[in-house]
Structure 1
Amino acid sequence: MPKAPLKSLSEARILVSNDDGIHAPGLKVLERVARSLSKDVWVIAPEAEQSGASHGLTLRRPLPVHKIGPRRFAVGGTPSDCVLMAVKHIIMDRPPDLVISGVNRGANLGEDVFYSGTVAAAREAALLGLPAIAFSQVRKGDTLYWKTAEKFAPEIIRRLYNGSWPQSILVNVNFPPVPPERVTGIKVAPQGRRLEHTQVKMAKDPFGRDVLWIGDFPTDDPKDPHTDLGSILENMVSVTPLECDSTHEATLPKIAARFVDMKPVRAKATRKRAVG
């Protein structure tokens, strides 16, 4: 059942993470936002950039955790690792009441959410049953309007946190690439898709050998303008709820109908050979 947060935001424990790394400027922005809302703020982020890490967990090596200041830790792993380490180890005495991720250096719109480490940190929190919001600042060329994120994020957090919060739901927020005074509003919109997908680019390494790069999306032109992509083109802040359960409910009975006549396959009994 949907539940409202148990604590007021001023008393809440807030966990801040990201995918751009512990020294990223966007993390500093979100940390200032968090500290303007609560005194109990913890920052636990990757020690190095993890852009495009998606929802990866580090399973084949130990994870170094370095305390670099009061309530501030760097983890040698992915954004998902950071949230898991925070909840299950670093602040296990009391889990966070809210997890916020970002502010990412660039958009997380449309299909970006499947690749984004910023969104993955929030999704990991949602899987752990915690309210979570991912924040991203859309770029315009090389220009990033951090003041836009810093101006609008506090009120967005207040309004989201003070309402009911269904289990396994996270919220993805993107700020348009304009100064705060040019933002035209806030729009709650569904996740969109771009007209074109990611490009693969050919280049040369320093030795003259051919190499391939996965390039950026060529444009943010949306297939449907009434989505998060379209909101950004209108200079609006986009707010999109995302669900951890990826099941397509409408297709379930259609797929099931294709298998109703299949008989269950039984494993053949095998006789064990005597040893000795």
Structure 2
Amino acid sequence: MHILVSNDDGINSEGIYALAMELRKIADVTVVAPEKQMSAVGHAITVQYPLRVNPFYKNGELFGYAVDGTPADAVKLAVKALLKDKKIDLLISGINHGTNTSINIIYSGTVSAATEGTILGIPSIAISLATYAPNPDFSFAAKFAVKLAEFVFKNGLPKGTLLNVNVPPVSENEIKGVLVTRQGSAFWDDWFEIRKDPNGRDYYWLAGRFINYEQGDLSADHTAVQNNYISITPIHFDLTNYKAIDELKKSGLENLLKSLDKD
């Protein structure tokens, strides 16, 4: 089995190192990841500038390849150029340092790396450790990623679907189990703090408060994690709201050109 590993925290992050080292016990692993922190860049790709790739060494050994682009760039470049002559059986993005549930999914570079893998026809997983605390322990999440990789390699995934995994930041014996969940309903109540730089000029720093609308509903990803369950959410990149199609047709939206003629 050959596994491509990427992330959005950068190739020198502790999460990707823990993931790659654990996966190398069961598979041939290639790491291609952004050279620096790229959290919350979503599915951005680089089209106006060239991309550069450099070998990245850790503890004196080649660990992977650092790309001066986004997570989606790293995956696309790996599949279409660096590894174009080598079959990739699975892509795993992570282990992200932070939660990627509910509304966070649309901003997440971790999820977008896995989405790009899915677009390119590779069974893909995004995995996050749901904490922002400094120096977290990624070891259990890495071990779980190995089990999940073996499961997906054996069973496959529905076409066009990736798994978004969030692991609670608790000890292994506190984990209550695994739940297949849906994307929960939540949002960020954002604001900008205005600060002064050393030259007295204003700059803005984004801050916010995460609000979960579904406290107590274990079918929702964020609530499951809050209750010490590993959340696995199947997601896809078809953003169509199918229920709204008939409603919009009935509203007369398709007759806009006719109304323009009357005007």
TM-score category (smaller protein): 0.7 to 0.9
Q: CA distance change for structure 1 residues 79 and 196 in 2, over 3 Å: closer, same or farther? A: closer
Q: Percent identity?
A: 35
- Greater fraction of residues in strand: 2
Which residue does 1:28 correspond to in 2? 17
Q: CA distance change for structure 1 residues 233 and 251 in 2, over 3 Å: closer, same or farther? A: same
CA-CA distance at 1:220 after TM superposition: 5.7
Residue 120 of structure 1 aligns with an amino acid whose one-letter code is: S
CA-CA distance at 1:16 after TM superposition: 0.2
Say yes or no: does 1:218 pair with 2:209. yes
The CA distance in 1 between the partners of 2:172 and 2:164, in whole Å, is: 19
Say yes or no: does 1:176 pair with 2:168. yes
Q: Secondary structure at the match of 1:81?
A: helix
- Of 171, 179, 187, the residue aligned with 2:179 is 187
Residue 214 of structure 2 aligns with an amino acid whose one-letter code is: K
CA-CA distance at 1:263 after TM superposition: 5.3
The CA distance in 2 between the partners of 1:72 and 1:43, in whole Å, is: 4
**Please, what is the CA RMSD of the aligned residues?**
2.2
Which residue does 1:42 correspond to in 2? 30
The CA distance in 1 between the partners of 2:185 and 2:197, in whole Å, is: 32
Residue 53 of structure 1 aligns with an amino acid whose one-letter code is: V
Written as runs of structure 1 = structure 2, the 5 A alignment for 1:143-182 is: 144-182=136-174
The CA distance in 2 between the partners of 1:98 and 1:129, in whole Å, is: 10
The CA distance in 2 between the partners of 1:184 and 1:235, in whole Å, is: 6
CA-CA distance at 1:76 after TM superposition: 0.6
Say yes or no: does 1:17 pair with 2:6. yes
Deviations 1:111-145 (A, max 9, x none): 11111111010000111111100011111643523
- Of 51, 54, 72, the residue aligned with 2:39 is 51
Q: Which runs of 5+ in 2 are unaligned?
A: none
Cα pair 1:195 1:223 within 8 Å, conserved: no
Residue 189 of structure 1 aligns with an amino acid whose one-letter code is: T
Written as runs of structure 1 = structure 2, the 5 A alignment for 1:83-232 is: 83-139=75-131, 141-142=133-134, 144-194=136-186, 196-215=188-207, 217-219=208-210, 221-223=212-214, 225-226=217-218, 227-232=220-225
Say yes or no: does 1:253 pair with 2:246. yes
Deviations 1:152-198 (A, max 9, x none): 22212222332242221111001102122211111111011226534
The CA distance in 2 between the partners of 1:22 and 1:195, in whole Å, is: 29
Cα pair 1:129 1:168 within 8 Å, conserved: yes
The CA distance in 1 between the partners of 2:213 and 2:192, in whole Å, is: 20
The TM-score, its normalising length taken from structure 2, stands at 0.88
Which residue does 1:272 correspond to in 2? none
Which residue does 2:53 correspond to in 1? 65
Residue 78 of structure 2 aligns with an amino acid whose one-letter code is: A
Q: Secondary structure at the match of 2:126?
A: strand
Q: Secondary structure at the match of 1:15?
A: strand
Higher-Rg structure is: 1
Which residue does 1:237 correspond to in 2? 230
The TM-score, its normalising length taken from structure 1, stands at 0.84
Cα pair 2:189 2:211 within 8 Å, conserved: no
